[in-house]
Amino acid sequence: MKTRLLTKLDIEAAAAILRGGGLLGIPTETVYGLGADGLNTPAVRRIFEAKGRPQDNPLILHIPEASWLERYCRNIPAAAYTLAERFWPGPLTMILRRRENVPNAVTCGLNTVGMRCPAHPVTLEIIRAAGTPVAAPSGNRSGRPSPTCAAHMLEDMDGRIDAIVDGGSCGVGVESTIIDLTSSVPRLLRPGGLPLEALREALGEVAVDRAVLSPLPAGEKPKAPGMKYRHYAPKAPVTVVTGKSRRTARYIRKKMGEHTGVICFDEFAGAFPGCAVEAIGAAADPAEQARRVFDALRAFDGTDVTEIFAQCPGDAGLGLAVANRLKKAAGFQVVDLGEAAP
Ligand code: AMP
Ligand code: MG
C-alpha cells in the first residue's frame, strides 16, 4: 500500500478514507493519531494490525463536540459536562460507560469507552465530514515514541496506512490526560496534556491511579490497560535520573561514556562534552519539555548511542506527564537522587 500525504485542504479525501474503512493519520494538538471509523469493526481491527498493538489495549473515540457523547455513552455524570465545557476541545480523555453501539473492537470488551474532542481544526473538520466518531490511538508502531509531526508518523507507518494528513507540529507534544469518571471519585489514569491541577480545580478531589507513578506489581491489572506496557522506547536503553537538576547533571557526567546519549534541560546542554545531547527545554518549563520529549527520544535512533540518560522534571503541571513518559521509556529504570527538579 502506498501511503499518501494529504494537506489541510484535503478534508473530503480524508473523510472518504474514513468512511471507506481505511486508515488515516490525523494531526491533533497532543500527538498524531492513527484513525479509523470507530463504528466499523474491521476498520478498527486494522488499526491494531498496523500498529502491532496488543489486543487488550482499547482505543479512544474522537468526536467533534460534547453533544455527541450521548450517542455512544450512558449514565454520563455531570462532571463530564463540567470538564467538556472547560477543557474541550483539548487534551482530555474521559472514561465513561459505553452504549451497545460502540464495537468491542474499540473497547476490547470493556463496558467503558474513552471519549475525547481534539483541539485541531483540521481533524475536527474531517470527523464532521466523515460523520462518524474516529477511533484513534497514537500513530506510532506499538512501543515506539509517539509521533509529533507527519514525518515521524511516516517513519513508523509508511506502507501500512492509506494516508497521513499533515497538520504541522503538535503544540502539546504528549498524549491526552485520561480521567475515569465511572468511579465515585474521579481518577487520573494517565497524566497528559491537561495538568492534574486543572482537573482538581474543576472537580475538587481527583485520585491518582498507582500505575501513573510506578510499575505495577506482577499480575496486577491497571485501569488503563495501556499503562502496563513498556512504551515510548527508543532503541537504546534509557535511565532516568530524578532530583535537583544540578545534581542529576553531575551524576550523568560521572556515568557518561563514548556512546552515551543525554536528554537534558537547556541549561545543561553544554555540560556533556563528547555525548550526543538532546535538550528538551528549560528546567522550569515543562510545557516546552512536553513538546520536545518524544522528538528527543526518537533522535538517538540511527546513531551510535548505546545508552541514554535523562534528566527528569518534578511532578508539578505538565512535569507529571513528561516524567511519566520518560520513566515509561526507561521501563521505570530510575536513579533517584532525592528532591525534585529544578
Ligand atoms: P493511545 O491512544 O495510544 O495513547 O492509547 C489510548 C490509551 O487510553 C491507552 O492507555 C488505553 O489503555 C486507554 N484507554 C482507552 N480506552 C479505555 C477505557 N475504556 N478504560 C481505560 N483506559 C482506556
Ligand atoms: Mg500510544
Nearest to 61 by CA among 78, 83, 40, 86: 40
Ligand 1 site-directed mutation target among 47, 113, 123, 178, most atoms within 8 Å of CB: 178
| Closest Cα to atom 10 of ligand 1 | 226
Q: What is the pLDDT of residues 257-310, one digit of tens each?
A: 999 999 999 999 999 999 999 999 999 999 999 999 999 999 998 899 999 999
Q: Which three cell numbers stand for residue 205?
A: 478531589
Beta carbon of 60 within 6 Å of any ligand 1 atom: yes
Q: What is the pLDDT of residues 115-159, one digit of tens each?
A: 999 999 999 999 999 999 999 999 999 989 999 999 999 999 999
- Looking at all shown ligands, the one closest to residue 56's CA atom is 1
Atom of ligand 1 nearest to the CA of 93: 8
Q: What is the pLDDT of residues 306-324, one digit of tens each?
A: 999 999 999 999 999 999 9
pLDDT band at 218 (very low <50, low <70, confident <90, very high): confident
Q: How many CB atoms lie within 10 A of CB 186?
A: 23
Range with lowest mean pLDDT among 13-17, 77-81, 231-235, 264-268: 231-235
The arithmetic mean of pLDDT across residues 157-163, rounded, is: 98
Beta carbon of 225 within 6 Å of any ligand 1 atom: yes
Quote the CA–CA distance of 170 and 189 in Å, as a whole number: 22
Quote the CA–CA distance of 295 and 132 in Å, as a whole number: 31
**pLDDT for position 217:** 77
User: How far does the centroid of ligand 2 lie from the alpha carbon of residue 139, in Å?
Assistant: 7
Nearest to 55 by CA among 229, 222, 232, 216: 229
| Contact of 15 with 130, CB cutoff 8 Å | yes
Q: Is the pLDDT of residue 226 over 90?
A: no
Beta bridge partners of 260: 307
Q: Is the pLDDT of residue 107 over 60?
A: yes
**pLDDT for position 103:** 98
pLDDT band at 234 (very low <50, low <70, confident <90, very high): confident
Cis peptide leading into residue 89 (ω within 30°): yes
User: How far does the centroid of ligand 2 lie from the alpha carbon of residue 30, in Å?
Assistant: 11
**pLDDT for position 280:** 98
Atom of ligand 1 nearest to the CA of 137: 2
Beta carbon of 95 within 6 Å of any ligand 1 atom: yes
Beta carbon of 96 within 6 Å of any ligand 1 atom: no
User: How far does the centroid of ligand 2 lie from the alpha carbon of residue 263, in Å?
Assistant: 21
Q: What is the pLDDT of residues 197-210, one digit of tens each?
A: 999 999 999 999 99
| Closest Cα to atom 22 of ligand 1 | 224
Beta carbon of 137 within 6 Å of any ligand 1 atom: yes
Atom of ligand 1 nearest to the CA of 110: 19
| Closest Cα to atom 20 of ligand 1 | 224
Beta carbon of 212 within 6 Å of any ligand 1 atom: no
Q: Is the pLDDT of residue 93 over 60?
A: yes
* β-pairing verdict for 92-98 and 112-116: antiparallel
Nearest to 194 by CA among 328, 320, 68: 320
